């Protein structure tokens, strides 16, 4: 298995990418090779600074990088030699099995959609993010790809999410919830009410109904569906919780919680670096999107997410399911 890693994506690139890749090859198994995509000279210098073996790490030269102010729709045309575009090109050609990037989300998503194309039947790919709960994790989608959605898009998100949780995470019958302002079927606006109706009549899904924000942390369901605007706001809130909680507990009595394993476990659950990256579901490939501020730990875990998705055959199974689900035909 070969995974391409955009080595120029994070805010502090290429340090986090190189260190994350070195950690990953030591943990992911001997069948995993990581291809660093970026400026060869810069990457060689960075690798030389780390006294660890670089076995199973190679470099694919890309002299340019995507800038935060680059319009997403223009990246393929204006930045053809960037690490994002070249990495996705490797994926499209089948030279790698997945692509991981902490570059600007809009640019990575736009380039992935252009390069890899949608799975037949999918209208809107969605970013699927694992969020912590008291019992483990649940999958939230969309978490930023589609700010406005129609009911048919949200229903497709449910099927994509269920397929991912079933194949990649091993949950045989994932429960699906629709994020809303109330539990009643008539809660929310017209889009949410119609989505509720469609999900309720879809016999291929274990739909538990509307769920509220508080239900996410109590693990009411395995897959939570919402539009990308709501999902991204919720995700950013989640990302802030660990640091805020740490400050609240540390400030009143300095040192009181030092060496407390219970607190360490709480922070580990809430730390977004434990998840690392989120797959863009619905395209013919495995692009993993990471936070621009990703640490080496986050990059390492994003590579783990990519390897798990490849091994489980998520894309192949998703394409097969979309072909057979009459419920997903455009309304």
Please report, for residues 18, 22, 37, 59, 75, the alpha-carbon distance to residue 54 in angstroms, rounded to integers and kept in the order given.
10, 7, 15, 11, 31
Domain end residue (candidates: 237, 253, 272):
272
Tokens, residue 57 = 């790490």
Same domain, 293 and 328: yes
Query: Residue 208 domain-assigned?
Result: yes
Does residue 242 form part of some domain? yes
Q: For 230-293, give the DSSP string.
A: HHHHHHHHHHHHHHHHHHHHHTTSTTTTTT-HHHHHHHHHH-GGGT-EEEEETBSS-EEEE-TT
pLDDT band at 260 (very low <50, low <70, confident <90, very high): low
Q: Above pLDDT 90, what percent of the chain?
A: 75
Which residue, 242, 310, 270, 227, is CA-closest to 137? 270
Is residue 258 predicted with pLDDT exceeding 70?
Answer: no
Q: Please report the pLDDT score of residue 119 as a whole number.
A: 95
Rounded CA separation 9/84 (Å): 8
Retrieve residue 59's tokens: 């470099």
CA distance 133 to 218: 6
Q: Are residues 261 and 289 in the same domain?
A: no
- CB atoms under 10 Å from CB of 243, counted, come to 12
User: Is residue 277 a part of any domain in this protein?
Assistant: no
Is it the case that residue 322 has pLDDT exceeding 90? no
The angle, 0 to 180 degrees and rounded to 10, between the axes of the packed helices 40-48 and 15-27 is 60
Based on the fold, state whether residues 81 and 130 are members of the same structural domain.
Answer: no
Mark whether 140 and 63 lie in a shared domain: no
Q: Tokens for 142, please give them.
A: 């969309």
> Computed from CA positions of residues 40, 46, 48, 51, in that sequence, does the dihedral angle turn out positive or negative?
negative
Mean pLDDT of 42-59: 88
For residue 219, pLDDT beyond 80: no
Same domain, 207 and 286: no
Q: Which domain holds residue 30?
A: 1-122+282-331
Q: For position 255, what pLDDT does the model report? A: 61
User: Rounded to whole angstroms, what are the CA distances from 206 to 137, 177, 178?
Assistant: 17, 9, 12
Q: Helix, strand, or coil here: 207? A: strand
- Show which of 272, 304, 319 is a domain's final residue: 272
Query: Is residue 268 one of the residues assigned to a domain?
Result: yes
The number of distinct structural domains making up the chain is: 2
pLDDT > 90? residue 37: yes
**DSSP type of residue 99:** E
- Which of the pair, 67 or 54, is modelled with greater confidence? 67
Report in angstroms the alpha-carbon separations of 6 from 31, 65, 77, 84, 251.
20, 9, 18, 6, 38
Same domain, 265 and 148: yes
Residue 249 and residue 292 in one domain: no
Q: Do 111 and 28 belong together in one domain?
A: yes
Same domain, yes or no: 148 and 49 = no
* Banded pLDDT at 267 (limits 50, 70, 90): confident
Q: Would 22 be classed as within a structural domain?
A: yes
Query: What does pTM read for this prediction?
Result: 0.92
Q: Which of 272, 307, 322 is the last residue of a domain?
A: 272
Over the stretch 55-89, which tens digit does the pLDDT of each residue have? Answer: 899 999 999 999 999 999 999 999 999 999 999 99
Helix (H) or strand (E) holding 100: strand 98-101
Handedness of CA 48, 50, 55, 60 (dihedral sign): negative
Instruction: Report whether pLDDT(261) > 80.
Output: no
Q: Which residue has the tokens 């690139």?
A: 13
pLDDT digit string (tens) for 3-22? Answer: 999 999 999 999 999 999 99
Strands 223-225 and 206-211: unpaired
Model confidence at 257, in pLDDT bands (50, 70, 90)?
low
289 forms bridges with which residues in the sheet? 101, 278
Asked whether residue 71 falls in the same domain as residue 168, the answer is: no
Q: What is the mean pLDDT of the chain?
A: 91
Residues 183, 155: one domain?
A: yes
Residue 262 lies in a domain: yes
Evaluate whether 258 touches 207 at the Cβ level (below 8 Å): no
pLDDT at 326: 47
Query: Which domain CATH number covers 64?
Result: 3.40.718.10
Q: Which helix (H) or strand (E) holds 136?
A: strand 136-141
Residue 220 and residue 127 share a domain? yes
242 pLDDT more than 80: no
């Amino acid at each position: 298995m070969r995974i391409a890693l955009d080595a120029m994506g994070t805010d502090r690139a290429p340090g986090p990418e190189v260190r994350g890749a070195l950690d990953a090859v030591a943990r992911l198994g001997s069948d995993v090779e990581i291809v660093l995509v970026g400026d060869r000279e810069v990457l060689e210098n960075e690798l030389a600074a780390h006294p660890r073996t670089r076995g199973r790490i190679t470099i694919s030269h890309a002299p340019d990088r995507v800038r935060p102010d680059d319009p997403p729709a223009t990246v393929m045309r204006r930045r053809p030699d960037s690490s994002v575009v070249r990495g996705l090109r490797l994926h499209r050609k089948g030279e790698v099995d997945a692509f991981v990037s902490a570059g600007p989300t809009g640019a990575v998503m736009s380039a992935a959609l252009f390069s890899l194309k949608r799975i037949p039947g999918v209208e809107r790919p969605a970013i699927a993010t694992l969020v912590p709960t008291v019992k483990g994790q649940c999958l939230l989608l969309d978490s930023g790809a589609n700010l406005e959605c129609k009911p048919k898009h949200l229903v497709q998100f449910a099927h994509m999410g269920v397929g991912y949780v079933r194949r990649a995470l091993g949950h045989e019958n994932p429960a699906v919830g629709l994020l809303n302002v109330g539990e009643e079927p008539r809660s929310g606006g017209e889009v949410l009410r119609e989505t509720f109706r469609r999900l309720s009549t879809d016999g291929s899904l274990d739909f538990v109904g509307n769920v509220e924000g508080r239900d996410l942390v109590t693990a009411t369901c395995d897959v939570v569906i919402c539009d990308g605007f709501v999902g991204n706001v919720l995700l950013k809130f989640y990302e802030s919780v660990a640091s805020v909680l740490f400050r609240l507990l540390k400030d009143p009595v300095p040192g009181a919680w030092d060496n407390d394993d219970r607190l360490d476990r709480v922070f580990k659950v809430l730390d977004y670096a434990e998840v690392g990256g989120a797959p863009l579901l619905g395209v013919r490939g495995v692009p993993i999107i990471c936070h621009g501020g990703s640490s080496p730990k986050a990059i390492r875990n994003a590579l783990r997410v990519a390897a798990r998705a490849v091994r489980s055959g998520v894309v192949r199974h998703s394409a097969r399911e979309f072909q057979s689900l009459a419920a997903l035909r455009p309304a």
